[in-house]
């Protein structure tokens, strides 16, 4: 176990990178998800098409392929960002497609009468969506949004493929340096649990506080 | 077709607005495509030597080999994960407490960690423990262990979603625990779980691309090798992406259809899981006691 405590600072730095990757990407992904979801329920056909194209391509491509494509291929067409920014862009784009689908499911779960009543009050389409539908839709899908967050904590490990060293990458380097795989692996695995389990509890609290039972 | 409830039949003004909106949106989309084409052209991505390799049989054979390796790893991992996942799910529902605890520990430990870390451990750790295998097996073991933990949760949620009356009726008929499981519970549960299992298998197929990290020559790894050789990363990786999109899209459509059919047929509907990202929900629903 010494090897873990000797390198505690490296581990903490790795955890910090995992956390910052996750939080930043989730915020960006949430914005992407909202926009794409409203595209997908829009009355304007081309926007619906763009929305479903985005969701169906990004969601069905492995995250590893997206990482490699963005970081190693797109510089060839002049799209070039630092590894950290690239990781955030890719994680956000990928997670955003899942969030979009979840929010859309939430929108579809809102009772029809709500939109009708809002329109009867004279609200315009964007107002109906923003003021009446989305607040209810989001509350209906808090639990799946939470599990997307937890999945993102784990998915952020793929940033290592483009040389952003987070928690798993720290373990990888230390295993290579010290040749003590077992304690390092267990420490990294426990670190993930330390991140995911409290997130799960917190999300459960949020859900109980805000979710509406249908 | 708009399947949402947000707009009723539009009047003349609404139709005009949608029409104008459509035109603006189409122009924007075309503009984005045009910029992309210009970028490609400016950076010489339309040059013939970038695309020609993809039409040569020897290169395609290299890719097909990678595809074969991907499917080989995914197939083996699916079979193992389904078997182990089933056993772990039964163990979690076992009547002996220590068995339950062990199974719970297994599920929570492996479900909570990054698959990346697990595959990494198989590759770097197992050899130091004296388990020397082909990289193929490191990938398969990593994928199997991780997905068995997740599938165990799916199975368990499926079994728990059945009405208690089913097992009560089975024991009233004089069936033993295992008879009731095998003849009454599991067959019904599997039917409900099928869409969830399929979408988890889609996730597993996608995750096979993590083989790239341990230099297993699956599709993505081979695309990178070929891209280095021909200097055409955009085409090579895009080809891989197109493969995954086609296959996974088809499988997802299949899973959705299956789910809709089951909802029609059995009313109760299948358990609600779509893809890995939502799996924690199933677990949470199955056991509100864990948190």
Using pLDDT thresholds of 50, 70 and 90, give the confidence band for residue A213. low
Using pLDDT thresholds of 50, 70 and 90, give the confidence band for residue B280. very low
Q: Which of B6, B26, B276 sits opposite A46 (nearest CB)?
A: B26
Q: Map residue A166 onto helix, strand or coil.
A: coil
pLDDT at A99: 96
Q: Which chain B residues are closer than 8 Å to A46 by Cβ?
A: 22, 25-26, 29
Query: What value does the mean pLDDT of chain A take?
Result: 91
Q: Based on the domain organization, do B98 and B116 belong to the same domain?
A: yes
Q: Does A183 touch chain B (CB under 8 A)?
A: no
Tens of pLDDT, residue by residue over A90-114, are 999 999 999 999 999 899 888 888 8
Q: Based on the domain organization, do B26 and B133 belong to the same domain?
A: no
Q: Based on the domain organization, do B133 and B160 belong to the same domain?
A: yes
pLDDT(B275) > 50: no
Q: Based on the domain organization, do B8 and B60 belong to the same domain?
A: no
Tens of pLDDT, residue by residue over B113-167, are 899 999 999 999 888 888 889 999 999 999 999 999 999 999 998 888 888 888 8
Tens of pLDDT, residue by residue over B198-245, are 888 889 999 999 999 999 999 999 999 999 899 889 999 999 999 999
Interface of B with A in 80-119 (CB under 8 A): 108-109, 112-117
- Asked if A204 lies within 8 A of B291 by C-beta distance, the reply is yes
Q: Based on the domain organization, do B182 and B252 belong to the same domain?
A: yes
- Asked if A77 lies within 8 A of B5 by C-beta distance, the reply is no
Which of left, alpha, beta for B68 (phi over 0: left; psi -120 to 50: alpha)? Answer: alpha
Average pLDDT over residues B250-275: 71
pLDDT(A55) > 70: yes
Using pLDDT thresholds of 50, 70 and 90, give the confidence band for residue B282. very low
- The ipTM of this complex is 0.88
Q: Based on the domain organization, do B228 and B179 belong to the same domain?
A: yes
Q: Which chain B residues are closer than 8 Å to A175 by Cβ?
A: 120, 124-125
pLDDT(B68) > 90: yes
Which domains are assigned to chain A?
2-210 (1.10.3720.10)
Q: Of A196 and B273, which is predicted with more confidence?
A: A196
Average pLDDT over residues B20-28: 93
Q: Based on the domain organization, do B169 and B93 belong to the same domain?
A: yes
Residues 6+ apart with CB under 8 A from B141: B122, B126, B133
Q: Based on the domain organization, do B32 and B125 belong to the same domain?
A: no
- What range defines the domain where residue B32 resides? 1-43
pLDDT at A110: 86
- Asked if A193 lies within 8 A of B8 by C-beta distance, the reply is no
Q: Which of B25, B220, B280 sits opposite A44 (nearest CB)?
A: B25
- Asked if B213 lies within 8 A of A64 by C-beta distance, the reply is yes
Q: How many A/B residue pairs have CB atoms within 8 Å? A: 203
Q: How far is CA B165 from CA B172, B176, B185, B263, B268, in A?
A: 10, 15, 11, 20, 14
Tens of pLDDT, residue by residue over A10-19, are 999 999 999 9
- Tally of structural domains, chain B: 2
Q: Based on the domain organization, do B20 and B108 belong to the same domain?
A: no
pLDDT(B69) > 90: yes
- Asked if B7 lies within 8 A of A98 by C-beta distance, the reply is no
Q: Based on the domain organization, do B38 and B61 belong to the same domain?
A: no
Write the CATH number for B69: 1.10.3720.10
Chain A: give the shortest CA distance to residue B95, in Å: 26
Tens of pLDDT, residue by residue over A74-87, are 998 888 899 999 99
Point out the least confidently predicted range of A95-99, A135-139, B43-47, B86-90.
B43-47
Q: Based on the domain organization, do B156 and B244 belong to the same domain?
A: yes
Using pLDDT thresholds of 50, 70 and 90, give the confidence band for residue A6. confident
Integer-rounded Cα Rg, in Å, for chain B is: 24
- Asked if B233 lies within 8 A of A150 by C-beta distance, the reply is no
Tens of pLDDT, residue by residue over A58-75, are 999 999 999 999 999 999
Q: Which chain B residues are closer than 8 Å to A102 by Cβ?
A: 278
Average pLDDT over residues B175-181: 88
Q: Based on the domain organization, do B205 and B246 belong to the same domain?
A: yes
pLDDT at B5: 53
pLDDT at B105: 93
pTM given for the model: 0.88
Q: Does A182 touch chain B (CB under 8 A)?
A: yes
Chain B: give the shortest CA distance to residue A23, in Å: 16
**3-class secondary structure for chain B?**
CCCCCCCCCCCHHHHHHHHHHHHHHHHHHHHHHHHHHHHHHHCCCCCHHHHHHHHCHHHHHHHHHHHHHHHHHHHHHHHHHHHHHHHHHHHHCCCCHHHHHHHHHHHHHHHCCCHHHHHHHHHHHHHHCCCCCCHHHHHHHHHHHHHHHHHHHHHHHHHHCCCHHHHHHHHHCCCCHHHHHHHHHHHHHHHHHHHHHHHHHHHHHHHHHHHHHHCCCCHHHHHHHHHHHHCCHHHHHHHHHHHHHHHHHHHHHHHHHHHHHHHHHHCCCCCCCCCHHHHHHHHHHHCCCCC
Average pLDDT over residues B174-196: 87
């Amino acid at each position: 176990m010494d090897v873990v405590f000797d390198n505690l600072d490296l581990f903490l730095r790795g955890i910090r990178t995992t956390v910052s990757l996750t939080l930043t990407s989730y915020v960006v992904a949430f914005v992407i998800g909202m926009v794409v979801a409203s595209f997908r329920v829009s009355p304007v056909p081309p926007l619906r098409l763009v929305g479903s194209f985005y969701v169906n391509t990004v969601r069905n491509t492995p995250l590893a392929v997206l990482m490699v494509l963005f970081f190693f291929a797109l510089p060839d067409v002049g799209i070039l960002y630092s590894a950290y920014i690239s990781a955030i862009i890719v994680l956000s784009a990928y997670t955003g497609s899942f969030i979009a689908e979840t929010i859309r499911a939430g929108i579809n779960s809102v009772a029809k009468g709500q939109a009708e009543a809002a329109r009867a009050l004279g609200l315009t389409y964007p107002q109906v969506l923003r003021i009446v539908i989305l607040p209810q839709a989001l509350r209906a899908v808090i639990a799946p949004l939470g599990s997307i967050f937890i999945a993102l904590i784990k998915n952020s490990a793929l940033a290592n493929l483009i040389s952003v060293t987070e928690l798993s990458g720290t373990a990888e380097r230390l295993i290579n340096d010290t040749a003590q795989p077992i304690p390092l692996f267990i420490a990294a695995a426990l670190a993930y649990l330390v991140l995911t389990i409290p997130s799960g509890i917190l999300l459960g609290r949020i859900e109980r506080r805000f979710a509406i039972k249908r | 077709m708009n399947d949402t409830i947000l707009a009723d039949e539009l009047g003349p003004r609404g139709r005009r607005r949608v029409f104008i909106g459509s035109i603006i949106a189409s122009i924007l989309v075309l503009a984005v495509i045009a910029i992309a084409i210009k970028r490609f052209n400016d950076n010489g991505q339309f040059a013939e030597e970038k695309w020609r390799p993809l039409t040569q049989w020897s290169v395609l054979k290299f890719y097909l080999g990678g595809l074969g390796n991907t499917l080989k790893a995914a197939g083996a991992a699916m079979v193992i994960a389904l078997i182990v996942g089933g056993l772990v799910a039964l163990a979690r529902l076992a009547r002996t407490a220590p068995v339950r605890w062990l199974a719970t520990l297994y599920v929570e430990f492996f479900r909570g960690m990054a698959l990346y870390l697990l595959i990494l451990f198989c590759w770097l750790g197992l050899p130091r423990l004296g388990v020397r295998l082909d990289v193929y097996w490191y990938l398969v073991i990593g994928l199997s262990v991780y997905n068995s933990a997740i599938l165990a949760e799916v199975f368990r949620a499926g079994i728990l979603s059945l009405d208690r009356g089913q097992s009560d009726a089975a024991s009233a008929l004089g069936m033993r625990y295992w008879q009731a499981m095998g003849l009454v519970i599991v067959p019904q549960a599997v039917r409900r779980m099928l869409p969830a299992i399929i979408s988890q298998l889609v996730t597993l197929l996608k995750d096979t691309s993590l083989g790239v990290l341990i230099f297993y020559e699956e599709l993505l790894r081979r695309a990178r090798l070929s891209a280095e050789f021909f200097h055409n990363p955009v085409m090579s990786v895009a080809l891989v992406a197109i493969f995954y999109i086609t296959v996974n899209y088809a499988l997802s459509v299949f899973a959705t259809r299956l789910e809709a059919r089951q909802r029609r047929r059995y009313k109760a509907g299948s358990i609600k899981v779509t893809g890995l990202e939502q799996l924690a929900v199933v677990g949470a629903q199955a056991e509100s006691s864990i948190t």
